[in-house]
Structure 1
Amino acid sequence: MLAYITWDVSPEIIQLGPLSLRWYGLMFAFGFMIGFSLVRRMFLAEGAPEKWLDYVFYLLIAGTILGARLGHVLFYQPEYYFNNPGDIFKIWEGGLASHGGVIGVVTALWVFSKYVSKKSFFWISDKVAAPIALVGAMIRFGNLMNSEIVGTPSDAPWAFHFVNAARESLADVPRHPVQLYELLGYFGIFILLLWLYWKRDAWKAPGYLTGLWFVGIFGTRFVWEYFKSDQGGFGVALTTGQWLSIPLVLIGAWMMYSSKDRGYAEV
């Protein structure tokens, strides 16, 4: 008899009339709240103005949501949204791409560095690297509760039968719970980055932690893409997610290597 886990959870925690609290939104907010407290501790340790935290917080939220939405529109379903431009704003219907979110986050941090802190981009990016990895893990938990981004068919005993998958064709057989794979990977990267920041003073090598974030997050993403069902986009030979991950891994590797020229510390 085939062993698997029947996943028949509701994406909603509670519904009050036309409003509902969903796991995805709660996890997104929870990740940002924890991240905010972690960055606040870093600011206090360096004596940075606490008022800067508000700018970081709101810029990151705006950059993440806008970038992730536009990334989904441009990378995965451009033809549909060009024909239905009004649907671009319907974020509540789903459709956020992490690669687009990165572009939004980088833009937000650049704006903060240029107009608020007047410090190096890496001064802030190295601080938010670990918290953003945590947010990524929380978002994948939200994806699991939504029964979205499901994996390829699997006969492993830990395979999930996603009863409420968005497409009926994805609810046919047990599949890899790839959301959990990514969640665990991102959480591991979060712990590593936090340890390097506080225990090995990796922040003294500007850009090292940022680069490690890029290599870790998108290197992990590249591997787990092999276990995902088709997400659409322009992927040929490799998936869209893999093509988009390759340059980000290379950029991250360059950041780590070149960090020694910006004041390398043993990490």
Structure 2
Amino acid sequence: MLLYITWDASPEIFSVGPITLRWYGMMFAIGFLLGFMMVRRMFLRDGAPESWLDYCFYFLIAGTILGARLGHILFYQWDYYSSHPEDILKVWEGGLASHGGVIGVVTALWLFSKFVSKQSFFWISDKVAAPIALVGAMIRFGNLMNSEIVGTPSDAPWAFLFVNASPASLADVPRHPVQLYESLSYLLCFGILIALYWKTDLRNRPGFLTGLWFALIFGFRFVWEFFKSQQGGFAADGALQTGQWLSLPLVALGLGLMAFAYSRPERSTVVEGAKVGRGKG
């Protein structure tokens, strides 16, 4: 007898009139809220003005959404959106790509560093590395609740039969709950990064934690793509999926950043003129 888990979860938590609260949106919001709290503690430790945190938060939200949307359009559905530009702004209909989100986040952090903090790019990127990994874990859980980005067919006892998958052809057989695989692996990345930030001196090697984030996140992403149903994109007919081709250079970038950071002398992250130890505890 084939064992599997029937997954028919509703993507909606509740609906009151025209207002609907969805799991995906709530996971996204909770991830950013928890990240905000963690980065706030890091800012206080380094004596950075709390006003910077608000700007960083706004930059990151805008960069994440805009980058993820443009990434989906350019990397996965350019044929459709180039012919239907009126649908580009319909974010509520779905269509966000994590690789595009990374480009948006990097752009947002560069703008924040240049116009707000006047610190190095790695001063902020090393701080948000762990929180962003947590946000990624929360978002993949939201994907699970939406029954989207489903895996390839599986006869494992933990395989999910995604009753609400779209198109309906993806609900034919039990499949790998690859969203859960990714969510748990990103949660592991978060644990590693946050522990290294607070328990070691690696935060004093600018770029190391940023590089480790790239290597871990996209290393896992490359592996889990083998277990995903076809996601489309420019490499839809190849041996590797689009997400894997996009991940490879980012893993290489991460390893390069780690090597470069470790070859450089340690450098304090405390903002010049700040009180050392402020915000500890």
TM over 0.5, shorter chain = yes
Q: In the alignment, what sits opposite 1:240?
A: 242
Q: In the alignment, what sits opposite 1:167?
A: 167
Q: Percent identity between the aligned chains?
A: 73
Aligned mates of 2:144, 2:169 — CA distance in 1: 17
Q: In the alignment, what sits opposite 2:71?
A: 71
Offset, 1:226: 0.1
Matched, 1:258 2:254: no
Q: Give 3-state SS (helix, strand or coil) of 2:111's partner.
A: helix
Code of the aligned partner of 1:135: V
Q: In the alignment, what sits opposite 1:97?
A: 97
Q: In the alignment, what sits opposite 2:36?
A: 36
Offset, 1:264: 4.2
Aligned mates of 1:70, 1:262 — CA distance in 2: 35
Q: Give runs of aligned pairs for residues 69-218 of structure 1, distance below 5 A.
A: 69-218=69-218
Deviation per CA, 1:52-85, whole angstroms, max 9, x where unpaired? 0001000000000000000000000000001111
Deviation per CA, 1:138-180, whole angstroms, max 9, x where unpaired? 0000000000000000000000000000111100000000001
Code of the aligned partner of 1:251: L
Offset, 1:42: 0.3
Offset, 1:218: 0.2
Aligned mates of 2:189, 2:149 — CA distance in 1: 21
Deviation per CA, 1:181-238, whole angstroms, max 9, x where unpaired? 0001000000000000000121101000000000000000000000000000011221
Q: Give 3-state SS (helix, strand or coil) of 1:198's partner.
A: helix
Aligned mates of 1:78, 1:172 — CA distance in 2: 28
Preserved CA contact (<8 Å) 1:4 1:158: yes
Q: Give 3-state SS (helix, strand or coil) of 1:48's partner.
A: coil
Code of the aligned partner of 1:178: V
Q: Give 3-state SS (helix, strand or coil) of 2:198's partner.
A: helix
Deviation per CA, 1:24-58, whole angstroms, max 9, x where unpaired? 00000000000000000000111111000001000
Preserved CA contact (<8 Å) 1:206 1:263: no
Aligned mates of 1:46, 1:201 — CA distance in 2: 14
Q: In the alignment, what sits opposite 1:48?
A: 48
Q: In the alignment, what sits opposite 2:279?
A: none
Q: Give 3-state SS (helix, strand or coil) of 1:21's partner.
A: strand
Q: Give 3-state SS (helix, strand or coil) of 1:6's partner.
A: strand
Q: In the alignment, what sits opposite 2:59?
A: 59
Matched length? 265
Code of the aligned partner of 1:244: L
More divergent stretch after superposition (41-50 vs 255-264):
255-264
Aligned mates of 1:88, 1:161 — CA distance in 2: 31
Q: Give 3-state SS (helix, strand or coil) of 1:24's partner.
A: helix
Structure in which a larger fraction of residues adopt helix: 1
For structure 2, the residue ranges without an aligned partner over 5 or more in a row are: 268-281
Q: Which has the higher contact order (CA 8 A, sep 6+)?
A: 2
Q: CA RMSD in A?
A: 0.8
Q: In the alignment, what sits opposite 2:5?
A: 5
Preserved CA contact (<8 Å) 1:143 1:179: yes
Offset, 1:16: 1.1
Aligned mates of 1:100, 1:262 — CA distance in 2: 30
**TM (normalized to structure 1)?**
0.98
Q: Give runs of aligned pairs for residues 6-25 of structure 1, distance below 5 A.
A: 6-25=6-25
Code of the aligned partner of 1:89: L
